[in-house]
Homo-oligomer: A and B are copies of this chain.
Amino acid sequence: RLTPIDASGVEIVGGFWARRQRLNREKTIPHGFGQLQRRGPMDNLRLAAGERGRYQAEADSGGSTFPFLDSDVYKWLEAAGWELARGADAILAAAADEAIGVVAAAQRPDGYLNSFVQVVGGGVPYQDLAWGHEFYCVAHLIQAAVAWRRGLGDDRLLTIAGRAVAHIDAEFGARGRPGIDGHPGIEMALVELARVTGEERHLALAERMLGLRGRGLIGPGRFGPEYWQDHEPVREAATVAGHAVRQLYLDCGAVDAAVELGDEELLTAVRRRWNDLARTRTYLTGGTGSRHRDEAFGDPYELPPDRAYTETCAAIASVMLAWRLLLATGEPEYADAIERAMYNGVLSGLSLTGEEFFYINPLQRRTHRAAEQAGHGRRAPWYPCACCPPNLMRLLSSWHHYLATGDESGVQIHQYADADVTAGGIRLAIRTEYPWQGRVTVRVVQTPDRPWTLALRVPAWSRASTGPVVRHSRQWRAGDSVVLDLEPGIRVTAPDPRADAIRGCVAIERGPLVYCLETVDAPAGTELEDLAWDGGRPPGEVPRPDIEPGVVGIDVPVTHSATPLTAGAIPYFAWANRQVEAMRVWIPT
């Protein structure tokens, strides 16, 4: 088992990820608070606290009402907590205080807290566990509370969450009726709550809820029992199935519980599903979940680039799960998966301005398209179902947690960024131009007076001459440094022969980045659909400061009706930030 480093033990000080954390802090999180104020979530909680007004959570103009928007406030609060832990900000602190006050006021005297049930649902809790998202909302409340405790030592949210959990525990605990939420999430939150409070009953409730799945408690519903992870017991299901985010959140909870309980069988079940996911249902971008209808995994190898659903939240959930599996096993393949998802499928969910979001992340968009609803094709400032934007916020505000771990042997670096790492008397300064350049320098700033091991992950794309981890074990002295030279050369990637939808194509990758063509970088007067990969000429690197400082673009050799031309490729995460027309990752050969 690897051990996370304290929230304050890693600081990203420059480069690619510092830019993104700054954007998140300065643009995305403030934008998010404004949206929560204007779009309903904050006011809905105020209604639960007794104010008067209309509940705002319209699913669509058909008139149905989303019951889960409280969770967006909690996710935003989690992000705000991590940000305030990274550094004080009076305006952000005031906004967070306001939100915490609203949440506290909304909670009923008996501890129950869910604005939908309290305001429009008749006030009787737990009447619709399948669709109601009541545990799910409390799960995000817990996660926010954990962030505020861990990052700031502030227990205001922890008190609220503890009372909300006690209300659930009284009805669904060991002596209560069996109940599971149609949307998993509370399982991992309860384990985290047990960790920060030391109270075993939270772990016991998580274990109980994990054990109740797959026994028909919810039933088939509209999309089948796999939609809400009630199709097979958690320790039996061999493959991922159903709604992607629900599957991955559930497995996060299963790993958390397995680690706390020493339950190797449960851990093995999750790893088996992860292997299935990684091998048969994961896009090149690290995205997962191909089907639109039920936001679900498709068949093995059903990975259409055009109709890729690949919800931003599913990519985030895969990062969360891979992180837990990395901690539980130490195996670098999980860090590889985190890297692939973060640089591609996760970041594509956020505009370069930080204030617009994709819910869906396809790998192809055609020049000529079917009639589209407003907002399709461009990132939107918010969504009626706004799970993704605050999920991005909380992930980016805590991204430094994912870079390194410690254990008795020393420190393990999993992700590369300009960062200072402090763990167990060891202090490291990591400097790199990653992902644009492959050199990583790790300087020992402070060291204990005993030998220890510095372990550096070698990404899968750079393992020509090494194993997946390079280890340096010695008695270190301050000022020592180690250089890791990765090889982020251009790669021309062929698809798996079973991936039907991308047969006869190649994709371009460089380092951890997947590249794509966009109309605006295509030869004048051509449509992307008429360009084919020209295997007779090599692709070449080209600086693309027009996208963002430091960006390395790739000039792609193509033919258009047998005429050799060149099309510019940019990192996939940066698509749809200029003129939005067509885009494609997979290029016909």
Contacts and interface: CB of A to CB of B under 8 A. Distances in A.
Contacts of A302: 306-307, 366, 370
A162 interface: no
Interface in A290-347: 291-293, 296-302, 304-307
B220 A373 contact: yes
Task: Name the residue among A226, A239, A296, A501 with the largest chain B CB count within 10 angstroms.
Answer: A501
Contacts of A307: 291, 298, 302, 304, 307
Contact of A371 (B241, B364, B588): B241
Interface string A492-506: 000001101101110
A61 B220 contact: yes
A394 interface: no
Nearest to A130: B62
A241 B222 CA distance: 26
A177 interface: no
A473 to B, nearest CB: 44
Nearest to A372: B224
A555 B222 CA distance: 41
A501 B501 contact: yes
A62 B301 CA distance: 30
Given A60-B222, A242-B371, A371-B242, A304 B366 contact: no
A60 B131 CA distance: 13
A31 to B, nearest CB: 25
Nearest to A231: B371
Interface string A452-470: 0000000000000000000
A219 interface: yes
Contact of A503 (B364, B368, B372, B588): B588
A540 interface: no
Nearest to A505: B503
A371 B241 CA distance: 6
A485 B223 CA distance: 50
A93 to B, nearest CB: 39
A589 B41 CA distance: 53
Contact of A501 (B369, B370, B500): B500
Contacts of A178: none
Nearest to A498: B529
A221 interface: yes
A548 to B, nearest CB: 29
B299 A366 contact: yes
Contacts of A292: 291-293
Nearest to A237: B371
Contacts of A297: 370
Contacts of A296: 370
Contacts of A498: 529
A60 B366 CA distance: 35
A372 B242 CA distance: 9
Given A292-B291, A503-B505, A504-B504, A373 B224 contact: yes
A304 B501 contact: yes
6 contacts: A61-B220, A62-B131, A220-B374, A292-B292, A299-B370, A503-B503
Given A62-B222, A301-B366, A302-B306, 7 more contacts: A226-B370, A242-B371, A291-B292, A292-B293, A297-B370, A498-B529, A503-B503
